[in-house]
Structures are given as C-alpha cells and as structure tokens.
C-alpha cells in the first residue's frame, strides 16, 4: 500500500510539471491541460484515500 502511495505521489508531481511546462510554453491546447488537471485531481483523491487508510484517526 505504501509503494502504491509513493507511485501516485510521483505521478502527481510529474503531472504538475507537465502542466507547468505546457502553460509556460504558451500551449493553446486547453483541452489537454484540462485533462491533465483532472487526472491530477483524481490522483490527489486516491492519495488522500490511501493516506486515510494508512494513518488511522485517533480519538483522544
């Protein structure tokens, strides 16, 4: 599970870099950028779910 979390985090960072590169290059393909951002959000949700599973809530 921790390995999967690390893979998702790396992919999330890679997508962030790709979005930044496309934006900096002045890409006019807004559809591609939107798809990358949507994928990035899905990865963020998956990361959050795994983190919640791995780090249980402790009620003090």
Number of Cβ within 10 Å of residue 33's Cβ equals: 15
This prediction's pTM: 0.80
pLDDT for 60 equals: 57
Q: Is pLDDT at 44 greater than 90 in this prediction?
A: yes
Q: What is the pLDDT of residue 47?
A: 96
8-43 tens-digit pLDDT? 999 999 999 999 999 998 878 899 999 999 999 999
What is d(CA 31, CA 40) in angstroms, rounded to the nearest whole number? 14
């Amino acid at each position: 599970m921790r390995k999967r979390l690390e893979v998702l985090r790396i992919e999330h960072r890679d997508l962030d870099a790709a979005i930044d590169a496309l934006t900096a290059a002045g890409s006019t393909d807004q559809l591609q950028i939107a798809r990358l951002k949507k994928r990035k959000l899905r990865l963020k949700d998956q990361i959050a779910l795994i983190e919640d599973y791995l780090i249980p809530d402790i009620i003090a």
